[in-house]
């Protein structure tokens, strides 16, 4: 998805809308690990200016928290991971193409990273009700939060890809997403992690409950960069 020039007002409206969207994204009732009322963070212009740029791909900078001295041993739940990235005008990485996915898989493999969060999210919160196009949710309900792009049905190979990035196995020994923790204690697995051979399945996508803590890969977010550029004339990003 690309965004043409927006007026500042429109971009602010978008950011507020996204904040509300995600505030509604946590309260699934009986999960003790939920912290209700958590919001998406707004970008911090000074942090956007000096954001870590570990590598560059197709117009976006990326970094892995495991490669930053101050974040090396830190792990984050999914929303805290998004917010860490967002303050830098970035977001959790979204893997819309096989080439980009291969790049992130390679980073995981070469650095022996056990797992990371991506921006992938199940649309199971307020605003997703009565969306027949998202049913059944385990096949059609996944999207990239950072760009709001839909993820191709989980049981099919995305056109242009040579493999299905979702693992073909997991806790329940069935293809992902399997919502396995829900069977254990009713915690929905609403977030998309990349796991490195946890189920003897190589590097692959898994649905995981969002409260788990993992390192993250942040990727430039055009909306946030455009917003900060338009509200801070002359800023170097």
Ligand X SMILES: *[C@@H]1O[C@H](CO)[C@@H](O)[C@H](O)[C@H]1NC(C)=O
Nearer CB in complex with ligand X: 207/220 = 207
Per DSSP, what are the bridge partners of residue 61? 56
Phi, psi of 63 (to 5 degrees): -150, 155
Phi, psi of 145 (to 5 degrees): -60, -35
Nearer CB in complex with ligand X: 155/185 = 185
Residue 131: CB minimum distance to ligand X, A:
9
Phi, psi of 74 (to 5 degrees): -90, 150
Q: Which of 37, 17, 22, 61 lies closest to 219 in space, CA to CA?
A: 61
Nearer CB in complex with ligand X: 189/219 = 189
Residue 24: CB minimum distance to ligand X, A:
11
Nearer CB in complex with ligand X: 109/185 = 185
Distant-in-sequence, close-in-space partners of 48: CB < 8 Å, separation ≥ 6: 87, 88, 89, 224, 225, 228, 235, 237
Q: How far is the C-alpha of 34 from the C-alpha of 70, rounded, in Å?
A: 26
Contact residues toward ligand X (CB under 6 A) are: 31-32, 129-130, 181, 184-185, 187
Nearer CB in complex with ligand X: 29/59 = 29
Residue 33: CB minimum distance to ligand X, A:
6
Residue 63: CB minimum distance to ligand X, A:
29
Q: How far is the C-alpha of 135 from the C-alpha of 207, rounded, in Å?
A: 17
Residue 122: CB minimum distance to ligand X, A:
17
């Amino acid at each position: 998805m690309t965004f043409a020039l927006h007026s500042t007002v429109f971009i602010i409206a978008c950011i507020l809308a996204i904040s509300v969207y995600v505030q509604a994204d946590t309260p699934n009732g009986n999960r003790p690990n939920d912290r209700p009322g958590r919001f998406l963070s707004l970008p911090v212009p000074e942090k956007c200016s000096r954001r870590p740029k570990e590598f560059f791909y197709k117009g976006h900078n990326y970094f892995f928290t495991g490669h930053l001295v101050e974040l090396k041993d830190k792990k984050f739940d999914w929303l805290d991971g998004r917010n860490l990235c967002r303050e830098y005008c970035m977001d959790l990485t979204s893997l819309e193409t096989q080439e980009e996915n291969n790049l992130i898989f390679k980073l995981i493999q070469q650095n022996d990273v056990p797992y990371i969060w991506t921006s992938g999210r199940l649309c199971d919160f307020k605003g997703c009700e009565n969306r027949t196009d998202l049913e059944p949710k385990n096949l059609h309900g996944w999207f990239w939060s950072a760009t709001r792009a839909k993820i191709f049905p989980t049981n099919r190979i995305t056109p242009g890809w040579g493999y299905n990035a979702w693992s073909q196995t997991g806790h329940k020994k069935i293809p992902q997403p399997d919502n396995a923790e829900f069977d254990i204690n009713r915690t929905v697995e609403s977030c998309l992690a990349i796991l490195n051979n946890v189920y003897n399945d190589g590097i692959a996508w898994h649905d995981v409950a969002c409260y788990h803590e993992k390192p993250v890969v942040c990727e430039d977010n055009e909306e946030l960069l455009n917003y900060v550029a338009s509200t801070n004339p002359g800023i170097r990003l």
